[in-house]
Structure 1
C-alpha cells in the first residue's frame, strides 16, 4: 500500500473530518510530533491523553459509570474494528448499506468517532481512551467505500441506517452529520428512535464543510428529541466554524482531538478548526455513561440531566451558539434535579411561569432642608460683618493724614 499523509483537503472533509497532526500543538514534546501524524499504513501511537477527557471530567466519572452494557450506534462511514483499541466484542458486526463490511472504514471518520466514545486503554504507549470506555459500538455504514458520491450515499441511506440502529437495540445513536434538508424519511426514522427511548445525538453543523454556510436550522439535530451539538475550543468558547441555530442544545470539545486512526493506532485530528463531528461523539459518550448510571431513565430524562448540568455563564438562559453549555457527565450523574433547578424544564414538569418584574418609581424631588433658614441667616450675618469690616477699613484709610 502506498503511504500518503491525510491533509485538510482529503476525502475525510466530506463528512466534516479535518485530519491534522503535521504540527504538534504547543507544549507537546517534539519527540511526540511524528507520532501525531496521520499516515496510512503506518501504525503510530500518541502517548498524550486527549485533552477533552480532562475538560469533561471523564476520569472522575468512571467510578460511577464506564458505559458497560450500553450500545452506541455510529451511523457513518463504518468502523475499523481491527484497530488495537477495539478488542474482540467491543465493535459489533453492524450493517453496511454501501457494500462490504460495516467493520471496515475507508475514510476514517467513523473510526475516529468510535475511538472518542469507546476506545479501550492499551497501556502507556497510548493515551487514547474513550469517554464511555466499556461501551459497545454498533457500526452502521451509510457512506464510504472505494466509489460512489458520499453526499448522495448519506442522503439515500441515512433514514435506513437510523431505522437499523433502532431495530438492532442501540441505546444511543451518534449522527456526526448535518444538512439543511428536512427529509420526511429521516424525520420519521428519528421519531421512531425517540419513541424507542434511544438518546439521539447529532451535529449542529460545521461551516467549512456546509453547502450553506449561514447560521440557521440544521437536521437531523433540529428534529424533536435530538440533542444538537456545537464544537467548543479553549476556554469553552464555541468556534466560528460551528453553525449557530435553534438546533444547538449542548457544546463539547471539538479541537486537538486525539483518537483512533483507522487500522493504524492513533492520530491527532481537527487541529486547525473545531469540528462538531467530534463534539457530537463526546456528547454521545456522556449519554452512554448516563444510560448505564440510570438504566430506567427515559431518553428525555437523560437529555434533561445533560442540559441542566452543562457548564454555562447564565444558568437560566440557552442560546443558539452553545445551547445550554458544555456537557459535564459527572455533574449530570450526581446532581439532584427537580423543576426548581435553573435552566431547562424537567420532563413532565409544567413550564415555569415568569412573573413580570415589579415596577416602582423613585421620587427624585429634593427633600426640604430643615436647617435652611438658619443657614441663610448665618450667611447674611457673615456678609454683614464682612461689609462692616470692609467699610471701617476704607474709612480709616480716608482719614489718614497726607505725609509732607
Structure 2
C-alpha cells in the first residue's frame, strides 16, 4: 500500500488528536513532588501506551506509525511525507536561529517554549546534532542553552554554537576544535578596519545617540543595540540614526586604511559608502532616505580598491533592533560549515530554521548545494519568506517552532521505513 494511503488510514481510523494530547502531557509534565500528580502522570502514560498498541497492532510497521500519530497532526505528517518523497532522506543535523525563531518576544516572553526544548532533546536522543546559529554573543547563548537543554546535552559533543553570525564556533567536547575563532583568519587590512571602528564607535558618537544605544559585547562584530524596547518607536529612531553613523564610521576607517594606497578624501569615502550599501540593501536605502542622508554619488563612482573592501564588509540593519558591521567572509554560512566539519557531518542534509537575512544566506547555501531544507516563522523578513515559499513552503506560526520541528522529526521516522 502506498505510504500516503497508510497515513490516510492512520488519521481516519484512529483518534490521533487524543493520542497527541496524552503524548504532550507525558512529555512536558512539570517536575512535581506530589503522589497524586505522579499517579495522574502514570495513568496518562499507561493510556498513551494502550492507544499506541492499537496502532502498532494495526500496521505492519505499527511502531513507527504510532510514533508519527503521537507527535504530528495530519497536516504535519503529510508534509513530512511530501519532503521524503521529494528528497528521499532523513535530516542529519538541525541549524537553528534563536531570536524570533525558536523563541519569540511577541508570544513566549522571549523564552524558548518547553515543547520546543523537548523536541530538541528527542532529536538529540536519536543522534541528530544541533547547531545553534545566532547573532548573539557566545556567553548569552551558552547561558540559555544550558538552562533550557541541560548541561549534559550541551556538552555531549553533538551540539555546536555558531555565534556572532559566524565569527566563532563553539563545540564542547572536541578538544582543540572546541572553540574556533574564525575572525583570526582574516587578513590584517580587514582587521584594522574593525579595530578602528570598535575603538571609536561609542566615544565618537553624537551625545543623543550615545545615550540611546549600547555596544553588544561581541568578540568581533560591531553591533549597536537600542537602550529601549526592541520594536518600539524610540528603538527605531536610534537604530536608524545608528545605521547612518556606522556607515560613515566605516567609510572613515576605510579611508584611513586606504591612505597607504593614495590620498582618499573622507567626505568622498562617506558618499561612496552610502551609495554602495544603499544599492546593496533596499532597507538601508529606505533608512538613508528617511534620515535625509542619501548619497550624491553613484555606485560606479566608487574606486576599485575601496569597492573591494566594501565587498568584504557587511552592514546589516534590523528594524528597531540593531545596526551591525560584520565580515562577509565570516557569515553564518562559514560558521555552519565549520560546525558541521567539527561534528563530522560530511554529507549534510540539514533543516535550517531562521527569520533574517543572515539566515537566508544559509538557506540559499543549503539549496544551492542540495544540503537540506529551509523553514521560517510567518513574521520572517520578506526575502526569507519568498525563499521558503519558493522551495518547500515550510512556514510556521510565530512562537510555534515545535510544530515545524515535529514535521522534521516525522520525516526522519518515515525515512527509517525506506
Q: TM-score, normalised by structure 1?
A: 0.28
Q: TM-score, normalised by structure 2?
A: 0.27
Higher RCO (CA-CA < 8 Å; seq separation 6+): 2
